[in-house]
Amino acid sequence: MEQECVVEEKKKVQSVEDLPGVGPATIDKLSNGGFTDLLSISVATPGELIGVADISEATAKKVIAIARANMEMNFESGEEIMIKRNNVIKISTGSSNMDALFAGGIETGAITECYGQYGSGKSQIAHVMAVQCQLPREKGGADGVAVFIDTENTFRPERIIQIANAVGLDSDEVLKNIKVARALTSDHQMLLAEKVEDLIKKQGLNVRIIIVDSLTAHFRAEFIGRGTLAERQQKLNKHMHVLMRLADKYNLAIYVTNQVMSKPDMFFGDPTEAIGGHIVAHNSTFRVYLRRGKKNTRVAKMVDSPNLPESEAAFSITENGLKDV
């Protein structure tokens, strides 16, 4: 009986791959159409699935029903969420002005995005955080390992050594505890993000921050023209969902950098806007705009946050890391 079948499947269907009667070719088509998880399938219409995966209406309906039956619609109590919030670690940036901007530091369980022009300090903060996250908890760190997904070939171990020495850590140890991967394309970058789970589960590494520098550069370079914009956004969305899931599941911080494009038609205010549009904006928990200030300083502005005010912090980039000005 149909009903029994659904109940029986309930125990084992955890991802699209587990759906009965769905082969690898269909999974690929579904995935390319943006149906990468049970949630997206459970809220789809049969017509949408037929459209992207070329399956029969009966199969589409069955797959949706099974996805729905297997979706865990967990309502968490406010108390449970408070307990989760209490586990959040705020990783110090080394600058008390910047820490104040974040009400303590860069949070685990969230995506923090810094966007700004070339030279504004996005990659410098990335290097600083790769070191700071390794400090002991009482010194503002997270006793953790950093993962650095480098898309622009700007990771510099020499810089890590400088910063590590300045905070009194053994630079050899610090370098060992940064797992760097050079992402060659956007697809490669997406895959690397998924593979971080292996470092945690298989290698048992205490990953406390994943840095993606830059989040958007490959996507921007590869998807040019209007026709491909939707596909780009869909992929960026998927990528950020993977990152957010890791942040949530393993209580780790995500630090991503983003470029700006100039808006020459804008006459008032700052003529810059972050790449990635609404997708990146909505998926980032904290959004910080970085710009150069007077006398070679930098100004960071909290642009969007679920619980923090819009404020600014001034700092400078020094050989030793970030310093207040």
Please identify, using beta-carbon distances, which residue of 154 and 318 lies nearer to Mg ion: 154
Please count the helices (runs of H) and the strands (runs of E) in the chain.
14, 13
Q: Is 93 in the site for ligand ADP (CB under 6 A)?
A: no
Q: Residue 212: phi, psi to the nearest 5? A: -120, 105
Q: Output b/e per residue, 241-263; b: 16+ Cβ within 10 A.
A: bbbbebbeebbbbbbbbbbbeee
Please identify, using beta-carbon distances, which residue of 96 and 165 lies nearer to ligand ADP: 165
Q: Which residue do the tokens 């020499």 mark?
A: 158
CA atoms within 13 A on the CB side of 250: 26
Contact 258, 279 (CB under 8 A): no
User: Which stretch, 71-79, 153-161, 216-224, 270-278, contacts Mg ion (CB under 5 A)?
Assistant: 153-161
Closest CA relative to residue 151, chosen from 124, 108, 116, 189: 189
Q: Is 216 in the site for Mg ion (CB under 5 A)?
A: no
Supply the DSSP symbol for 57.
Answer: H
- Gap between the terminal Cα atoms of the chain: 71
Q: Which does 91 bind (CB under 5 to 8 A by kind): Mg ion, ligand ADP, none?
A: none
Q: Is 132 in the site for ligand ADP (CB under 6 A)?
A: no
Q: Is 123 in the site for Mg ion (CB under 5 A)?
A: yes
Q: Is 121 in the site for ligand ADP (CB under 6 A)?
A: yes
Q: Is 131 in the site for ligand ADP (CB under 6 A)?
A: no
Please identify, using beta-carbon distances, which residue of 211 and 302 lies nearer to Mg ion: 211
Q: CA–CA separation, 272 vs 37, rounded Å?
A: 34
User: Which residue from 36, 59, 97, 124 is in contact with ligand ADP, where contact means CB under 6 A?
Assistant: 124
The least distance separating ligand ADP from the CB of residue 315, rounded to whole angstroms, comes to: 11
Please identify, using beta-carbon distances, which residue of 152 and 231 lies nearer to ligand ADP: 152
User: Which stretch, 16-24, 74-82, 87-95, 118-126, contacts ligand ADP (CB under 6 A)?
Assistant: 118-126
Q: Is 294 in the site for ligand ADP (CB under 6 A)?
A: no
Neighbour tally for 218: CB within 10 Å: 21
Q: Is 258 in the site for Mg ion (CB under 5 A)?
A: no
Please identify, using beta-carbon distances, which residue of 76 and 319 lies nearer to ligand ADP: 319
Q: Give Cβ neighbours of residue 81 (< 8 Å, ≥ 6 apart).
A: none
Residues that bind Mg ion (CB under 5 A): 122-123, 154
Residues that bind ligand ADP (CB under 6 A): 116, 118-124, 159, 317-319
